[in-house]
Each structure stands twice: as C-alpha cells, then as structure tokens.
Amino acid sequence: MAYSQARDFMFCSFCGSMLSLVSPKYAECPLCKFKPSAKGILGREIGYTITAEDIRRDLGISHVSEGMKTKESAALIKQTCKKCGHPELEYTTRQMRSADEGQTVFLVCPNCKFKDTEN
C-alpha cells in the first residue's frame, strides 16, 4: 500500500468502512470496493475554517476593552477667554483620583489656545 492510512479517517458513504487512500486521486473501500475521489473526501475533511477569533484565542490576544481607553469629552461653553476675549471655550472635565477633589474643568480657548482650569 503506497499511501498510508495514517491520514485523516475517511469512511465509506455506503457501508461505513474506513477507506484506504490507494492513490492521490482515489480512496477505496476495502469492503464494497467503492472508489470515491480523494479530492472530494479530503476537501470535505479540511472543509472547516479557522476564524480570526480562534487564532487570536490561540495567541492569547484578547480584545482591548473599550473601558480602558480614557474618555475625554470636549464641548464648547459660552465663556469669554481671559486672554483674547473669544466668546466660547472648549472644556473637558476630568475626575480627579480622590472623590472629594471633585471634577476639574479644563478650559481651552480654540482661538489662542489659552488654558485655564476651574474646580
């Protein structure tokens, strides 16, 4: 027997016997002598697909949690710039580490980039 039976198990679709791969093109059932094409069998055998998700899991790469990203919201408020008199300032709020420090408001003038903070 030129081709090893150590390949993936293949079974005869008629009698269920294990098929022997007798050539690169055909397998043969030892019982009923059914000769399916190896291409069709092997195509089915390796028909499953490995998804990117499986690969990531294998490599131990987990999704970066959205919560890990720092969220800064910028908005415009009607406040006059102390430096250039621009009528609107961009403000971002940031929660300080300790709760009793409260939120610090950062004000940035979109016109002259003057920075100010408010507690």
Out of 12, 21, 27, 38, point to the residue binding Zn ion (CB under 5 A): 12
CA distance 39 to 44: 9
Looking at residue 53, the DSSP 8-state letter turns out to be H
> Whose structure tokens read 């940035």?
108
Question: Could you say whether residue 114 binds Zn ion (CB under 5 A)?
Answer: yes
The sign of the CA dihedral 110, 111, 113, 117 is: negative
Strands (E), the chain: 20-21, 27-28, 74-78, 88-95, 103-108, 115-118
Question: Could you say whether residue 26 binds Zn ion (CB under 5 A)?
Answer: no
The nearer residue to Zn ion, 17 or 79, going by C-beta atoms, is 17
Question: Could you say whether residue 81 binds Zn ion (CB under 5 A)?
Answer: yes
Q: Is 109 annotated as a binding residue?
A: yes
Question: Could you say whether residue 79 binds Zn ion (CB under 5 A)?
Answer: no
Of 42, 44, 11, which Cα lies nearest the Cα of 24?
Answer: 42
Query: Judged by CB under 5 A, which stretch of 11-19, 56-64, 65-73, 100-108 contacts Zn ion?
Result: 11-19
The nearer residue to Zn ion, 58 or 118, going by C-beta atoms, is 118
Q: Is 5 annotated as a binding residue?
A: no
Out of 34, 36, 106, 116, point to the residue binding Zn ion (CB under 5 A): 34
